Homo-oligomer: A and B are copies of this chain.
Amino acid sequence: MNNVRFATSVHILTLLATMKDEYLSSDFIAGSVNVNAAVIRKEISNLKACHLVDSKEGKGGGSTLARPASKIKLSEVYEAVRQVHVLGRSNTPNPRCPVGRDVNKHLESLYEDTDNYVKQKLSVITLEEFVKKFK
């Protein structure tokens, strides 16, 4: 996952947790993350789909956490943004070679296991705990 989406989502959620009584606009968030507001809106759209964020349209609108930070696990954020396996992708090897024929099956299984380890590890950290570090 050679991208910045996890960082962006955690940043957004941290802001929302820090100012949990207000609806924050995408412009405000974009100013903090230092990216274009459209990027933030797209990321928020994804976080909404994953039930981590709620938002309100129109004047005075913006986003807020869907639940208290203590109820949001970092594994949920990870799952919201993850697109590929931790260990990467596979080739399309030659099926006429005994190794090529089976390697993806064995790799996939390793990939799944490794992804699950990461999820497990992140599942014991809440957004609340992460946000506490900023004090």
Binding site for B on A (CB under 8 A): 1-8, 10-11, 14-15, 18, 31-35, 74, 78, 83-84, 86-94, 97-100, 102-104, 106-107, 110, 113-114, 117-118, 121-122, 125, 130, 133-134
Known: A11-B91, A86-B86. A100 touches B1 (CB 8 A): no
How many copies of the shown chain assemble into the complex?
A: 2
Whose C-beta in chain B lies nearest to the C-beta of A92? B34
A91 and B34 contact, CB distance less than 8 A: yes
- Which residues of B sit under 8 angstroms from A3, Cβ to Cβ? 2, 88-89
Contact among B33, B89, B133 for A100, CB-based, below 8 A: B33
Known: A33-B91, A91-B33, A134-B102. A86 touches B10 (CB 8 A): no
